[in-house]
With several copies, the nearest count.
Chain A
């Protein structure tokens, strides 16, 4: 699926929630379902800065697509990572670099988009794009 399609899908899913509790319960569920980073890659050099709980992000190229994996000590942070990875993992570097993150606002997590947030969402997005730049094969 294309990035935009997945984003629309996520927005659609989140639109059914009536309150923050349902939304966060879903986020937690996502956090538990995230593709975990391989143990050997769960190292300090893969840590994302600006995050109160440790958050690791790793990327590798498989057939022209970038596969992201992540882990965090905190489940909400993992949930947030999950809604990023579901969109950006298994996409081409070019598509990743051309995408936007408006869907984060659309699903009502705009508050997390402040660069000063302790969950590191903004740093994570930046890191995802850095990887895409670095692994761009075109």
Chain B
């Protein structure tokens, strides 16, 4: 398939917006992606034609909704090449997925155990472990980052040992865009029998991951990061782990027998899907994966790489601009500062030019502390962005800087 950027852009209604009189340019893709019509329409279609509570109904639309929901699960399973569909748990997003696992390990670990977190983590991947560690006393060790923002793998080797029970690393860092060497991290962790959770929130919009090949024990993502709606995400867990973990939330769907004396839990995946799920969200999540696979991840990768290269080179022409995290293993993120200017000022003025970037600490305060800065300007690209938009960014950024100097 060829990559037709005009066709693709026409799929995204929001790209037609004007902001402050200018064409809208969206470079905040790492915060959330925009949605193509086909995804938006799948939500309307659900509510207009077959909205129903699922799993327990014998009537037609309940059956249709259940089938569509389970079909969405099968799409996620196929996309990530997962062995069993019941290893895919629908959650409300990555944060929920990670908390589910952290809550489960609360009972499985004790104060003799250690867990390892990378220094590149999003808050969602730090706080749940702190909360867990407060309860069971497990020690948290950190893989620090070097001046390029890469994980220091030597230190990883040093802190990994037979007490290590879990390793938590994001696939791609949201603050810097760095792709972590998760394959190596997983292999080494497995040698000491530690489980590995990979937070794929930032990776899944940019490339396809084969979870059987990767051999991670857990993997998470949020649909809103990959052209799907808010309020839905997934947790992949190996069957043996999902069976071991206690349920997270109690409620409908996740039980097979309830009496006031004793409750037996339902089988996977229902054990972890208490209550009425986000049915429309799951269906639209599936449609989003279809859409991305229709374009093809090879095409997306190739196009985004050339965009990233172009943008990096262009931005480097700006005087006094410093990029954080200049690894060669990067996805579509450029995090930078201009000497003597606060990121907020740049973001606020770029917005006036119709350009949306993110400023601040990107939910990754430890990384900012590492670089001794209070935040950055983050430009995050997607396959629906263009070089022309990058040119506009460059021009507006220069005007912004001259206004602020």
**Which A residues fall within an 8 A CB radius of B?**
20-21, 24-25, 28, 52-54, 73-77, 111, 114-119
Q: Tell me whether B374 and A54 are in contact (CB under 8 A).
A: yes
Given A73-B342, A77-B344, A119-B348, also A114-B63 (CB < 8 A): yes
Taking the complex as formed, is B13 at the interface, i.e. its CB lies under 8 A from any CB of chain A?
no
Task: Give the contacting residue for A74; candidates B20, B57, B345; CB below 8 A.
Answer: B345
Q: How far is the CA of A117 from the CA of B308 in the complex (A)?
A: 30
With beta carbons under 8 angstroms apart, the residue of B20, B343, B375, B404 that contacts A28 is B404
| Beta-carbon contacts under 8 Å, B62-109 to A | 63, 66-67, 70
Q: Among residues 334 to 354 in chain B, which have CB atoms less than 8 Å away from a CB atom of chain A?
A: 341-345, 348-349, 352
CB < 8 Å: which of A20, A54, A116 contacts B70?
A116
Q: Which residues of A contact B67 (CB under 8 A)?
A: 114, 116
Residue pair A76, B57 in contact (C-beta under 8 Å): no
**Are A74 and B342 closer than 8 Å at their CB atoms?**
yes
Given contacts A111-B63, A116-B70, contact A20 B374 (CB under 8 A): no
Smallest distance from the beta carbon of A78 to chain B beta carbons, Å?
9
Q: 4 other contacts beyond A74-B342, A118-B58, with CB at 8 A cut-off? A: A20-B20, A21-B403, A52-B56, A77-B345
Whether B352 and A53, one on each chain, are in contact in the complex, defined by CB atoms closer than 8 angstroms, is: no
In the A-B complex, the 3 residue pairs with the smallest Cβ-Cβ separation, listed nearest first, are A74-B342, A74-B344, A116-B66
Cβ contact within 8 Å between A25 and B359: no
B contact residues, total (Cβ < 8 Å)? 25
Question: A24 near B374 (CB under 8 angstroms)?
Answer: no
Query: Shortest beta-carbon distance, B113 to chain A, in Å?
Result: 36
If A20-B352, A54-B374, A119-B344 touch, whether A28 touches B403 (CB-CB below 8 Å) is: yes
- A76: chain B residues at CB < 8 Å are 344-345, 348-349
Residues in chain B near residue A53, CB distance under 8 A: 342-345, 374
CB of B55 within 8 A of chain A? yes
Least CB distance, B74 to chain A, in whole angstroms: 10
CA distance A73 to B359 in the complex (A): 14
A77 contacts which chain B residues (CB < 8 A)?
344-345
Closest to B360 in A: A52
Question: Which B residues lie within 8 Å of A111 (CB)?
Answer: 60, 63
Q: Are A114 and B404 in contact (CB under 8 A)?
A: no
A24 cross-chain contacts in B, Cβ below 8 A:
349, 352, 403
The distance in angstroms between the C-alpha atoms of A53 and B347, with both chains bound, is 11
When C-beta atoms are compared, the residue in chain A nearest to B67 turns out to be A114
- In Å, the complex CA distance between A75 and B54 comes to 23
Whole-angstrom distance between the Cβ of A24 and the nearest chain B Cβ:
7
Q: Is the CB of B345 within 8 A of A75?
A: yes
Give 5 CB contacts A-B under 8 Å.
Answer: A52-B343, A52-B344, A116-B66, A118-B57, A118-B344
Most chain A Cβ neighbours within 10 Å, of B20, B58, B343: B58
A122, chain B: closest CB distance, angstroms: 12
Q: Known contacts A74-B342, A116-B63, A116-B70; decide if A52 and B375 are in contact (CB<8 Å).
A: yes
Which residues of B lie under 8 Å from residue A119 when comparing CB positions?
Answer: 58, 344, 348
A25 to chain B: which residues have CB within 8 Å?
403
C-alpha gap A111/B19 in the complex (Å): 13
Q: How far is the CA of A119 from the CA of B404 in the complex (A)?
A: 16
**Residues in A neighbouring B54, C-beta threshold 8 A:** 116
